[in-house]
Structure 1
Amino acid sequence: MSQIRTLTALGASLALGGIVAAAVATAGPAPHPARTPASDTVGVAAASSPFAVSETGTLGDHARPGGPVTREQMLRRAQWWVDEKVGYDQRGSRRDEVTGGSWRRDCSGFVSMAWQLPTNRTTLTLPAVGRAIDFKELEPGDILNSREHVVLFAGWIDKGRRTFTYYQESSSRRPTNKSTGDLDAATLSGHPTKGYTAYRYKNVVDSGPTARPKPQAPKAPTPKTPTPKAPVPKAPVAKPKPKPKPAPPAPSTQQNRKVRLSTLVTSQGRLYALAKDGHGVYEWSGDGTAWTKVGGPTKQLYGGAVGLFRTDARTGNIHRYEPSTRRWFLIGGPGRTFAMDGERLYGLSPDGSGIHQWTGKDGQWFKIWDHAGQLYGGGAGLFATNPRNGNLYRYHPTTHSWSLTGGPGRTFAMDGERLYGLSPDGSGVHEWTGRGADWTKVGGPAKHLYGGAGGLFATNPHTGDLYRYDPARRNWSRTGGPGRTFVSGSGGLFGVSPDGSAVFRWTGHGDRWAGVGAPTKRG
């Protein structure tokens, strides 16, 4: 394995559109000034290696990484590391055989494990998946986070005196442990208490007995105004005839029902959708409202310039779709996620330990980097985040090298040529200048970014309305209301209705959309 020299640019104070990078927590995805950790030394594999890896297994307690998790689950997972005496090691990881995750053995990796996050976060990026709360609101499973350390709140000892217990992974001298703290003390776990902020995971679920709905108060009777009726002559009373048997319901309403959708992707000018329950993949005819089922049970669906790909719901293996024959071909094993640039398909191994590139031949992959947190692909190339600090790197396929592009962001997206990022706290949209780690702010608060050949779009975090970015004029215009998801492709912009029951295509004018139907299935 040939080693690329350690990147040292992280030690410098880098600017983002005139804003010093130290303010990135609120300014956007510019790099945080910090010393370069050893993990920023990247390498490229000299020889091919198979991509097929072990399956992730099933999830405990009906939870999934990134999905809802109860406070009891968080504490059980935390206590598991205490019982196992997991030692502190920033370079090491601990595999969770129940969820298939691999968690970094430091303070933020421990919290990522307890929260059952899909990727390892850092103290700088954990706030992006939580919301700040007051200390007095702390409940088991919340965290106290600072730039240097994070602990998992386990419960109050005496709320009036602000004493409590917490879990932590803190130093190589002591394995994962449960300790006591005092919010009025000068330090907490060796760090200034005033430097901590309390956060609550966005997907936490408060378990307990389901509250019964309150009985509604009886409505007061509304007096009816008597209406004089004209006398109607009575018709002769006929003997009652037997009632005819009800006719069976029409097949169109009884035998077919709309499929609820969760994902839209485009590939080579075609539009595809994945059912919310994962039972199948559907292809739009391209005209009218007809849809055809082209694939079976699927976990994830990926579309791009290279083609259409799906991961099998049972095995996690990735398959390639051939539109001319409507057949799927196995090309590799499971992966945490997959992404495409304009010419190549890449996959991240389930434990995040390596990025692999598909050779174009079924079952043949080769490794191009060791560790990553997330992959982003599109017209601007392939980008990956460092799992330790969240920094973003760009891949150069001709030289098999990587370069630092910027600091952490909540998410990233691309239109045909440009790369955009949403700041970790969602306070601004930024555009990469294409030079080093320089970014320019182009928009305010947003919740989601959608990018592709059809342009860049963002949703308003308060209303859910969708807005389109015009890079020439550097302004935003409203294109429509809320939707479950959107996709921007060469065929235009498409969106799924909030309830997932219908698909619409933006006309390109104002906020006018045209329906393109939705898949149906018998049942």
Structure 2
Amino acid sequence: MHIPKTRRGIVPIIVAGIVSSMVTLVPAAAHATSSVGGPITSAEMMSRAQLWVDNAVPYNQDASAPDPEGRQYRTDCSGYVSMAWHLSDSLIVTDPAPLDFTNVDGSPNTAYDFGIGSFTNLQQGDAMAYPHQHIWLFDSWTDKATGDFNYYAESHPGTNAHGPATSTANIYSDTLEGWPTSGYVGLRYNNLAQPSSASTPDADSGWSVYDPNTNQTTVFGMGSTGKIGFTTGAGTNWPNWSEVSNMWLFPTTAKPTAVYNPDSRTTFVFARGTDGSMGVSTRADGASGWTPWTEMNNYWKLVGDPSAAYNPDTKTMYVFARGTGGHVGFIQSVNGGRWSQWTDVNLSWTFAGDPHAIYNPDTKQVSVFARGNDGSTGVSTYIPGASWPWSNWAELNNYWKLAGDPSIAYNPNSKTMFVFARGTGGHVGFTQSVNGGRWSQWTDVNLSWTFAGDPHAAYNPDTGQVSVYARGNDGSMGVSNYIPGASWPWSNWSELNNFWKLGGDPTIAYSTGSKTMQVFARGQGNPAQMGDTQSVNGGRWTQWNSVNLWWTFVGP
């Protein structure tokens, strides 16, 4: 369609919020679950946008129309997006700020939104702004591989609000809504409410992390010079590796771990320095770089690598690590505040392996698991209100002795916690607990493979399955899936293709935006490249590919 190239919202009477007429329509029966200017889900945004489509609200810069609760918004492109986002004002797309979706230079106005980077990161409820001219709402992909999508918009005089049934486009077109595609910027509302499945990871932390707000995954690796590198991307689009920060050195055997905080919209990465201290670096959504590494106090010296877990109910970040005395300690930060002192979880066990922690959204508890000196697996759970909040270490039964560290995955549908680990015979076994109840006996996942590395498990919310991945004795990567109702619930181990031989253990990241499971691992060789393979909607795995060729790695 052709859109006259007039600047929307520049009439002074409109900027002042005064309009000459009001459109009468029947508000939707459903009431908002959000408040004005408060957190709102993408689903509610689309419901609000659909109201004006259902009532054929015409484009008019000099009129207003109600939202589902009767609040009036200007009936042009920017008023429409303001209504869908449930903002307190009808913003504009013209200068000057502050009531503008973008700044004078076209960058996101962080009072309301932040940039999403590549248009392939678009997710429901995002806005596409052509600075100082036009704005509209992204609804959903109809074929992400080809770039096809549908959207909502108030386009120009003579047209009504239109929605996904009739509004389709392609991000690779030369123009979108009549304006050059190259001039657009993708925006995400900075008070977007994430569903619990996006804000609560279903596996323990690793050296990759998914950000549901930007729909991007960040992968970390240990370079041969003792620096930690990262790349952030989506799908197969990986930028060059860069250093997280050059202020620290790390032992080449160290494994970083990363966690996303959905409340502060910040990614945290933790790693053990060469002097045994623990460092943290952070990056907020939309930030161009990482903060300098900061020591998380010097009261403990660590001999192992960290695991982290975030409790969204108490807004508390926990980090666990094994100290020089073999005890597992923790440190915590509430609401982004100062880190506590390192403290023993409790003193009843000593450990040969590194801890792994996870938050259970049903019991509202954080639990930490670790391999004891005798090869058994212990668990301790945080119990708020107790005189000492951590329970005594309890053994997850004594039928297995472990040769490696555990991996944890949680299935929120069945409320089942799974713990996986490699036994002394090289097989991967599991134990499980339903609704916080008693742990089952350790059992082989199946006996068709033996493994040289530790497993890593993940839950896929689209297939409803927990899968476990591990590096076989021949360097290939195997996967087994839990299939409820089968005579034996675990599928046979299958190879994720044989084009790579692996020199390290995997880490897993699942993208809720693209429904993609990605497995990352270091190839053989020292140093070596980082590779990944991925599966969309539970489908066939791609070939292993180098994440990119700009760095070589010695770890993880």
TM-score when normalising by structure 1: 0.31
Tell which has more relative contact order, 1 or 2 (C-alpha 8 A, sep 6+): 1
Indicate the structure (1 or 2) with the bigger Cα radius of gyration. Answer: 1
Task: Kindly indicate which of the two structures has a greater share of residues assigned to strand.
Answer: 1
